[in-house]
Structure 1
Amino acid sequence: MKIKIETAGSRLDKALADLTSLSRSLANEQIKEGQVLVNGQVKKAKYKVQLGDVIRYQLPEPELVDYQPENLALDIIYQDEDVAVVNKPQGMVVHPSPGHNQGTLVNALLYHIKDLSSINGVLRPGIVHRIDKDTSGLLMIAKNDQAHLALAQELKDKKSLRKYWALVHGNLPNDLGVIEAPIGRSEKDRKKQAVTAKGKEALTRFKVLERFGDYSLLELQLETGRTHQIRVHLAYIGHPIAGDPVYGPKKTLKGQGQFLHAKTLGFTHPRTGQDLEFSVDLPPVFQETLEKLRKTRS
């Protein structure tokens, strides 16, 4: 594969990551191995690309992802012939990917539900939307393509109800608020998302449920569904989610990742037109942490 540089000044590894599907770390590896040529010559990662440079690189061989039904514990809140609603535990990846071929929600779905939509292919059957590995809570699952298309359109039209509870650092000045800031890939770290002018519109509403001095319990409602949206927005306003290893401080509450739970989910049934709404309790570690904070406050 080859690309032609139209904007000069970036390091070779950054330019390659920005202009291709390669991550910066993978771009670095290929540069070190001599698989990246600039105008036919091997250059170091720190080389500043010039206008008109022609860069040739190798696309890595795709890693085959094996997925099999697994008899994993799965909390199915609701199920009919078209849709299912599941309560994903914290620590479970939603779908298989390189490095996560087993133990995912999809592996569990293939065992417990069988009939799943094919819209997202064989690796994400039935998956209409996702939540992070260390976020717990509710997800809608499509059992056929017609249901999938209807549910996905409702999400796109911002008609679905998605409410989260989060335990965040600090004491917010207002009981109610709206965070409206575009989110895209971070220019400093391509593994992270960030508020950036080049990002896509993102809007999160919040309400303070409890205050604990150094921490606050929030209810958040998504109007859009950008990657890591709640985590990025809360960090952006200076109140990162407790336990968040990526967007939060190192000194934080001990748990099993970020204290973020998809508590309430509502949508229109794709066949009957009935409005459905579901809500689930916080996971034990979240509840126990809140109880400790309440005792400390009192």
Structure 2
Amino acid sequence: MENKCIIEKLQLIIPQTMDGWTVERVLRREVGVSRTLLRRAKRNRVILLNQLPVKTNVTVKTGEVLELWMGSQETQVVPERMELNILYEDAHLLAVNKPPGMLVHPLTNETSGTLANGVLYHWLQQGTIDRFRPVHRLDRNTSGIVLIARNPYVQQQLQIQMKQGQFVRRYLALVKGKVQPEQGVIQAPIALEEGSFIKRMISPAGKEAISHYQVLRTFNQASLVRVELETGRTHQVRVHMAHMGHPLLGDSLYGGDTSNIKRQALHCAYLAFNHPVQGSRIKISCSVAGDIRQLMEEHSKKA
């Protein structure tokens, strides 16, 4: 297959309500383009009005066609053939069910076998050379849905939805003991633990962190909990549940029992958001990972 770059664009026919607006006002207020993306577009001269490059201080008229072109960009990540469990795909977005143990991004000393390698290979088979743009991230040992944007505008719009509370993220966690009360809100700021590059802790000096939880099933010595994130701090579910006295099973970093599972029993099971281009509400779900399901079955036998 011949490799090629697929060029994507945003196009808007100027309505009467925007007659006399500047190009910048249209792109910033109506389309929602970020300052960073707008600066890059200016520098690369990829803003067109009626198919001609235009500066952002030019005024537009009703019926004119305004376009913002976004070229696919090459990346240093090496495409690698692997089986991907694709949950959703269109010209703008890709959602994959990531297995536990897989990195989302390559590291300096671990450049292959990551989700990024597999996604870039998948796109290469479609004739696209592009960058890997995850909208959110999962830890290596957290399984479940990872959403990837196909261009910087889509990525930026979804991250705005996160900040505005329009992007829903729900996790399933198997935790120690019986959680009481069975539903509630955990509002406890999270900071990096002193002397550690990885571990987090609850601290008044930390960043605001809010989790909404509900117990879905209770076992003799464990509970299956659904956690919906209002904020997205690193290790938020793990830190908040441990703070309640119910660390995730398998989570050695925060006091979880590792006798029956060697990774935190955490799975991103549901995402919902407004499609940045189509405008429709997208809902994506996937079943809990096999090792967590097996652990639940073992706890059911103990009941």
Q: Identify the TM-score tier after normalising by the shorter chain.
A: 0.7 to 0.9
Once the two structures are TM-superposed, the CA of residue 252 in structure 1 deviates from its matched residue by 3.6
Residue number among 275, 291, 297 corresponding to 2:297 in the alignment: 291
- Distance change in 2, residues 1:169/1:188 (3 Å): farther
- Distance change in 2, residues 1:117/1:142 (3 Å): farther
Residue number among 261, 269, 273 corresponding to 1:263 in the alignment: 269
Aligned to 1:170: 177
Residue number among 204, 212, 220 corresponding to 2:211 in the alignment: 204
Amino acid at match of 1:80: D
Aligned to 2:199: 192
Once the two structures are TM-superposed, the CA of residue 116 in structure 1 deviates from its matched residue by 7.5
Stretches of structure 2 lacking an aligned partner (at least 5 in a row)? 1-74
Sequence identity (%): 39
Could you state the TM-score of these two structures normalised by the residue count of structure 1?
Answer: 0.72
Task: Give CA-to-partner distance per residue, 1:128-149, whole Å, 9 cap, x none.
Answer: 1101100000111100122111
CA distance in 2, matches of 1:201, 1:113: 37
Once the two structures are superposed, the pairs formed by residues 239-258 of structure 1 within 5 Å of their partners are 239-249=246-256, 251-258=257-264
Once the two structures are superposed, the pairs formed by residues 14-163 of structure 1 within 5 Å of their partners are 67-114=77-124, 115=128, 118=131, 125-163=132-170
Once the two structures are TM-superposed, the CA of residue 189 in structure 1 deviates from its matched residue by 2.8
- Distance change in 2, residues 1:164/1:201 (3 Å): same
Task: Give CA-to-partner distance per residue, 1:175-199, whole Å, 9 cap, x none.
Answer: 1111100111112533211111111
Once the two structures are TM-superposed, the CA of residue 98 in structure 1 deviates from its matched residue by 2.0
CA RMSD of aligned residues (A): 1.7
Per the alignment, in what secondary structure is the counterpart of residue 91 of structure 1? coil
Amino acid at match of 2:210: L
Task: Give CA-to-partner distance per residue, 1:155-183, whole Å, 9 cap, x none.
Answer: 12221111111000111121111110011
Once the two structures are TM-superposed, the CA of residue 69 in structure 1 deviates from its matched residue by 0.4
Stretches of structure 1 lacking an aligned partner (at least 5 in a row)? 1-64, 119-124
Amino acid at match of 2:81: N
CA distance in 2, matches of 1:204, 1:98: 32
Could you state the TM-score of these two structures normalised by the residue count of structure 2?
Answer: 0.71
Alpha carbons 1:116, 1:126 under 8 Å: kept: no
Amino acid at match of 2:187: E
CA distance in 2, matches of 1:153, 1:199: 22
Amino acid at match of 1:284: G
Amino acid at match of 2:85: D
Per the alignment, in what secondary structure is the counterpart of residue 292 of structure 2? helix
- Distance change in 2, residues 1:151/1:79 (3 Å): same
Per the alignment, in what secondary structure is the counterpart of residue 246 of structure 1? helix
CA distance in 1, matches of 2:183, 2:259: 24
Alpha carbons 2:251, 2:262 under 8 Å: kept: no
2:235 is the alignment partner of 1:225: no
Aligned to 2:287: 281
